Structure 1
Amino acid sequence: MLSPATIDTIKSTVPVLEKHGTDITKRFYELLFSNHPELLNVFNHANQKQGRQQAALAGAVYAAAQHIDNLEAIIPVVKMIGHKHRSLGIKAEHYPIVGRNLLAAIQDVLGLSATDPVVLAWGEAYGVIADAFISVEADMYEQAEHQEGGWADFRPFRVERKVKESDEIVSFYLVPVDGKPIAAFDPGQYVSVKAEIPGEPNVHIRQYSLSVAPGQPYYRISVKRESGLSGRPDGKVSNYLHDSIEPGDVLPLSAPAGSFTLDGGDSRPVVLISGGVGLTPLVSMLRHSAQTNPSRPVTIIHAARNGDVHALKEEVKHVAAANSGIAAYWCYEQPTEQDKELGEYDREGRIDLNWLQQIVPSKQASFYFCGPVPFMKAVNGALREWGVEEADIHYEFFGPSGSLD
């Protein structure tokens, strides 16, 4: 338990963290990787370069400070981050390392001494927050390892099939090398893939949504080639998987993880809205719902630049054709001439509230969406403008969490 004085001190830093939070977390990662370069084998370097990891950590620290007197309020966030930590292999022994470097970063940025009351208070508070993460993640490690078909850390899987789904996306069908059963998963969850790329000094770990319904003897991930557009760095792992991994090759995988999952106990209509490769967890949800709750109405809406980059289209059409309760719609921002000739899309341009209200029977539904951050901001804004209840809005960031405000 934190003392009232410590709580008051932490809360007094909320305005400071709002102003300097990203500077603190940027300095934190500089110190962390300088003092512990082995952790470069865990963290996503691309997210570091884009500043996404720094912003996500700043948001988490800010939230912890806001709710330091009621940490129960951030347990959902702790669990979401815990899933990512477990799938990456973050362990209890890493938390003291993080704590030391975080406190040093706070001191550096704010110009504090080691005996300053703010540093002492944050040292005490960090211990409590770290214990919460360690406890949650210990349960996750236990469940992942001891469930039927489960395992600890990473397990070797062989690529059974490699299928081109579009000009940008390739699916990999993965089976365990040891031939034993694999762990079940909830539709919407992901696995981490560990890639040891020739010529790269560090191991790279990436998380990919499972794009198949649970219950198969294999996992499937559908990977978009990240080609460095819009100022983003090339995707080292996605390019490696596309160019170098073939059937018969072996990839180490973590057990499935993630909190962005379909509520199978909800019988109300569900609306799945995806942009680009964000369709992968939603296809898993679609197939699972069709198999286990075929009477549940489902509307699936996918946005893509055009038909050339629209993955898994025939698969979704097949599922929809076999189930009268499923309606599928496509939105192409820049349809090709062939798209226009075939007429196999429903809207040119972007998804907006007016179109959603035309094709979605009611806002009394569970909405799930995933895709690029600008896309998710637009969908989130439309749903909130429509008056969809906050409890019915569910979304997943590919990578570190951010804000949709």
Structure 2
Amino acid sequence: MQVASVGLGGFLALLVTPWAGLATTLIGVWLSHYIDRILARTGLRRCTRGEMQPCSRDADERIVAYAKELRAGTAPKYHFLGAGKVWFESQVGIEVTPAEDRTPHLQGTRWDLGACDRPFADFTEDDLYAQIQAALGGARDPRPDFLPANRLETFCVAAVSQDKWEALGAADRKSLVSLARHGVDRKGTRPSPHFARRFLCARRVSWEGELVASVFVSVAYEDHFLRVVVRPHVLHPVSEEYGERGALPDGSGWKWHARAAFHAVLDIGFALKRSQGSASDAEGGNLREAVAQEYVEDMLQWDDARRYIGMTQRRVYTAVDKFLVSSGVDTGAYRQQTTVIYNSGVINTGSIGGDVDNQGGAAGQGGSP
């Protein structure tokens, strides 16, 4: 519609007067923004009522920006913009060594019970991402009616710093989308690890869209050292300041239309800023996150958020454990660290029959509301 108004305005400027052409262009651009606001409001109402079906993921959703959060007295945490508030982070790091095979081996006329190395299968980070994604997306039991349907959505993304987001060009975005979808082994899609990294995102949308729990998984495997980091985020319900769900204006009152008409005029200025590459939304932000509550006020939502994060985190670490076992990796140190995470911050360094020394402060001890 904007293109048509510009064309009509130029035509009138040649045949009538330049002022008639300019007025036609401005009215047409303003009308396009005004109609866009009406359609957006209608779509939002349909979405909150559950009338809209999820559409295919846009390619830009494969690229996410991250920023550092500084907290007094604690280590900095990193926030994936648009994913919500940062929760507790957990990580496991182990030396990758072959597992020992202690099954009996026949040597001559005697059984040799000594240890020997099992066959070790080399693997890449992308192999591990594929295993985790398959485990999270699959059924927990082969019987189809044993458990409810899995509502966990999994997909890989390419993460870049917020400082680099605004400078991304078309070629950069194409390369990052390929990195997210295919990994670093894809020919021609190997951006520098200092520029972008691949992450696996596992996301669950609940409470009719009011609560979104996301887990970003990072896998780094270099020099026989494997590190798995789980960074949970929770997108809280929309703040009451912007209206409760189901109580949105119909978009038919004259006051709403008056505000929409005025804001459509301001949209023209924002469009000009975006054309110059100076818009504030070029930082990779998200409108839904901007209008979210600071804290989860409802106890039931809070319990569900903790359950989603804990469940996804456990399944991620379980999938990694199974992959390492199938690859012939010694998982003793790995299971010790995951046990600490599962036990919510209690480290048991003793034995059941002897002295027990419990230490607090492990990763995963609690969530940030």
In the superposition, the TM-score normalised over structure 1's length comes to 0.22
Higher helix fraction (1 or 2): 1
**TM-score, length-normalised on structure 2?**
0.24
Q: Which has the higher contact order (CA 8 A, sep 6+)?
A: 2
